[in-house]
C-alpha cells in the first residue's frame, strides 16, 4: 500500500468519524448543535464532558429571528442520536420587492404575499396556463425551504420553484431548480417545499404555478428560508432604544436603520449614537435596496411623494466631494435648487447637493454587533453561552478521546466566525496531521496570483498546441510513406507481355526466338507430346 493510498484512507476515516457516533456502552456523545440554536433541556449540565445516558432527551430552540425546522429534539438510543434533524433558518423574503408575470393590472398587489401578515392575501383569477410569482431579496442567499400559505388551494397543479440571479420575468429557466412537484389533492392551506440540494443560490426566488385552463391563484404569505445571513436581532443593537416610527433591516450582515427626518448634523449625530454612520451607497444593488426600503418606510410613516435621504459625504470645494472615509466622490450632478449646497442628498435615485440645514430622511449603517451562535460538532462540550458578540471568543472542549482543532472561535467584525470547530478521535490525529499537511501543500501550490495562473495556462496551451501539430505532421508523413510504398509495390507487380517484350527488343534475333516462341508456329511444327510439355496451362 503506497503513501498516497494511506493518506486517502486517513481522510476517509476522519470524515466518517465526524458522521458516525462513538458508542461507549449505551451512552451517547454530546449531540451536534445547529447554528443559531441553543440546548434548552439536557440531562447533564452545560460544559460537562460526560456522555448522555440511554433514553436521554435533548431539546433545542432557535435564537431570536430564526425559525426552527425539524423535530426540535433528539433522543439517545443505543449510543446514537435519533431524529436529530433540527435546523434554524433565516426568513429572507418578507418586506422585499415582489412581482407576478401577467398581463392584467389587477395583479399589482403581489407584495401582499410577502408583507408578513397572513391575513392579507393576494388573489386573482387567471386564464393563463402558467403564472410566475417572484421576490427579489437584493442579495445572494442559499435557499433551503419555501412555504406557501394559500387561501384557495390549487389541486392537480404543478409548482416549480427556482432560485438564481436571472430576472424571473425574462430568464427564470436559467436559474437553479429548487424543486418541482405536482401537489395533487392537498388538504392543508400551508405547503412546504424543500430544495433538493444545497446549490440553489441567488437573489431571485420564483414560484411558477402550472394549471391548464381558468383557475384562481391565491398567496396569503410566501416565506423563503436560508441558512445564510444574520437576523436583525444579531446584526442590530437595541441600545439606545429605537424611537417610534423607525425601521431596521439587514444588508450583507450590516444593520440598516431608518430613523426619520433630520438635518445633516442631527442625522450624523444620531447615527453615531448607534455606532454607525450615514448611509453611503457604494454599489448599484445597495442603492436599489436603500431606494426600495426608504420608499416603503416613507409610505407607512410620512406619505411623501418625493423621497430624499442624507448621504455620508461633504463638499470640500466647488468641484470636490469626499465621503466619510475621506475618499473623493465623482459624478455629483449640480442643480439649480441648491447649487452651493455643501451636503449630499439622494433623491429619486440620483445624488445632488443640498443645504445642510434642510430636512431629509436619516438612514444609518453599522457593522453587526453579533455573529449569532456557531454550529458545534458532535463530541463537543459547551463551556459558555454560544451567542457571540463582535470581537468576542468562545472556548470549547471535546469529550475524552477526542481533540479539538481550535481552542476558541472568534466573532469577526463582518459578522462571520474565525473558524469551524471539529472534534477528532485521538487515534486519528497522526493521519489528520498528514492530511492537513497535504492540503496545506496543495493550497500553497494553488496560491498563485490570477496573472500567474493565466500565464501558466497559456504556456500549457501553447505546448499542447505545438505537440498536437507535431503529432499531426508525423502522422501525415507516415501515411504518405505508406502510400508511396504501396504504389511502388503495385507498379512492380503489374507487368505485362508488352512491357516485357519492350525490354527484350534489343536482344539478338536468335536469342529472342529461343526465349519467346510463337504458340501458333509451335502448334504446326511440334508434336502433341512436345506441345503438352511447352504449354504451362496444360
Spatial separation of the C-alpha atoms in residues 307 and 333, rounded to whole Å = 17
| 186-240 confidence digits (pLDDT tens) | 667 889 999 987 779 999 999 988 875 666 778 899 999 999 999 999 999 766 7
> Whole-prediction pTM value?
0.72
Q: Which among 214, 218, 229, 162 has a CA at the least distance from the CA of 186? A: 218
How many CA atoms lie less than 13 Å away from 13 in the CB half-sphere?
17
List the grid coordinates of 267: 442625522
Domain 237-366: top CATH class? alpha beta
Each residue of 104-123: b (16+ CB within 10 Å) or e? Answer: eeebebbbbbbbeeeeebbb
Distance CA 482, CA 476 (A): 10
pLDDT digits (tens, 9 = 90+) for 113-129: 999 999 998 887 777 78
For 93-226, which CATH superfamily applies?
Galactose-binding domain-like (2.60.120.260)
Q: What is the pLDDT of residue 142?
A: 95
Confidence of residue 426 (pLDDT cuts 50, 70, 90): confident
Condensed to tens digits (0 to 9), the pLDDT of residues 279-331 reads 987 788 999 999 999 888 887 766 666 789 999 998 888 778 888 888 888 76
CA distance 86 to 39: 11
- Average per-residue pLDDT for the chain: 78
Q: What sign for the dihedral angle of Cα 467, 469, 473, 479?
A: positive
Unique residue bearing C-alpha cell 469626499: 322
> Dihedral angle at the C-alpha atoms of 432, 433, 438, 441, nearest 10 degrees?
140
With a CB cutoff of 8 Å and minimum separation 6, the contacts of 478 are none
- Tell which wins on pLDDT, 84 or 49: 84
Where do the domains of the chain lie?
93-226, 237-366
Residues 152 and 252 sit within 8 Å (Cβ to Cβ): no
Amino acid at each position: 500500500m503506497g503513501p498516497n493510498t494511506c493518506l486517502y484512507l486517513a481522510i476517509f476515516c476522519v470524515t466518517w468519524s465526524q458522521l458516525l457516533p462513538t458508542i461507549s456502552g449505551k451512552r451517547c456523545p454530546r449531540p451536534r448543535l445547529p447554528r443559531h440554536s441553543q440546548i434548552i433541556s439536557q440531562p447533564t449540565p452545560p460544559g460537562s464532558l460526560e456522555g448522555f445516558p440511554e433514553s436521554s432527551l435533548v431539546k433545542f430552540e432557535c435564537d431570536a429571528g430564526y425559525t426552527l425546522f425539524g423535530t426540535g429534539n433528539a433522543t439517545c438510543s443505543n449510543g446514537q442520536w435519533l431524529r436529530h434533524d433540527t435546523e434554524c433558518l433565516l426568513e429572507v423574503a418578507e418586506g422585499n420587492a415582489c412581482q407576478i408575470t401577467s398581463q392584467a393590472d389587477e395583479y399589482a398587489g403581489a407584495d401582499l404575499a410577502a408583507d408578513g401578515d397572513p391575513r392579507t392575501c393576494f388573489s386573482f383569477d387567471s386564464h393563463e396556463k402558467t403564472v410566475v410569482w417572484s421576490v427579489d431579496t437584493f442579495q445572494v442567499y442559499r435557499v433551503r425551504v419555501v412555504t406557501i400559505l394559500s387561501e384557495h388551494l390549487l389541486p392537480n397543479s404543478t409548482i416549480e420553484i427556482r432560485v438564481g440571479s436571472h430576472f424571473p420575468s425574462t430568464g427564470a429557466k436559467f436559474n437553479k431548480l429548487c424543486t418541482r412537484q405536482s401537489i395533487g389533492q392537498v388538504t392543508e392551506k400551508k405547503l412546504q417545499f424543500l430544495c433538493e440540494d444545497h446549490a440553489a443560490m441567488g437573489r431571485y426566488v420564483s414560484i411558477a404555478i402550472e394549471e391548464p385552463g381558468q383557475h384562481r391563484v391565491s398567496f396569503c404569505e410566501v416565506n423563503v428560508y436560508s441558512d445564510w445571513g444574520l437576523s436583525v436581532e444579531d446584526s442590530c443593537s437595541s441600545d439606545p432604544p429605537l424611537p417610534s416610527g423607525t425601521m431596521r433591516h439587514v444588508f450583507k450582515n450590516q444593520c440598516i436603520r431608518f430613523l426619520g427626518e433630520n438635518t445633516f448634523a442631527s442625522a450624523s449625530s444620531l447615527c453615531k449614537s448607534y455606532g454607525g454612520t450615514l448611509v453611503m451607497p457604494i454599489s448599484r444593488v445597495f442603492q436599489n435596496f436603500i431606494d426600495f426600503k426608504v420608499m416603503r418606510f416613507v409610505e407607512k410613516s410620512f406619505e411623501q411623494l418625493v423621497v430624499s435621504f442624507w448621504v455620508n459625504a461633504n463638499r470640500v470645494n466647488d468641484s470636490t466631494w469626499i465621503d466619510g472615509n475621506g475618499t473623493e466622490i465623482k459624478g455629483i450632478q449640480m442643480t439649480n435648487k441648491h447649487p452651493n449646497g455643501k451636503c449630499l442628498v439622494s433623491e429619486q435615485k440620483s445624488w445632488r447637493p443640498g443645504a445642510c440645514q434642510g430636512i431629509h430622511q436619516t438612514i444609518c449603517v453599522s457593522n453587526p454587533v453579533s455573529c449569532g451562535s456557531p454550529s458545534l460538532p458532535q463530541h463537543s462540550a459547551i463551556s459558555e453561552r454560544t451567542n457571540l458578540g463582535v470581537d468576542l471568543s468562545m472556548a470549547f472542549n471535546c469529550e475524552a478521546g477526542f481533540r479539538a482543532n481550535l481552542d476558541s472561535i472568534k466573532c469577526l467584525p463582518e459578522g462571520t466566525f474565525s473558524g469551524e470547530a471539529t472534534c477528532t478521535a485521538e487515534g486519528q490525529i497522526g493521519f489528520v496531521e498528514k492530511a492537513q499537511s497535504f492540503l496545506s501543500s496543495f493550497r500553497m501550490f494553488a496560491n498563485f496570483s490570477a496573472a500567474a495562473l493565466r500565464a501558466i495556462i497559456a504556456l500549457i496551451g501553447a505546448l499542447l498546441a505545438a505537440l498536437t501539430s507535431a503529432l499531426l505532421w508525423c502522422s501525415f508523413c507516415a501515411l504518405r510513406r505508406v502510400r508511396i510504398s504501396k504504389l511502388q509495390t503495385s507498379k512492380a507487380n503489374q507487368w505485362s507481355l508488352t512491357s516485357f517484350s519492350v525490354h527484350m527488343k534489343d536482344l539478338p534475333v536468335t536469342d529472342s526466338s529461343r526465349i519467346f516462341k510463337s504458340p501458333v508456329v509451335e502448334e504446326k511444327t511440334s508434336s502433341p507430346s512436345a506441345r503438352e510439355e511447352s504449354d504451362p496451362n496444360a
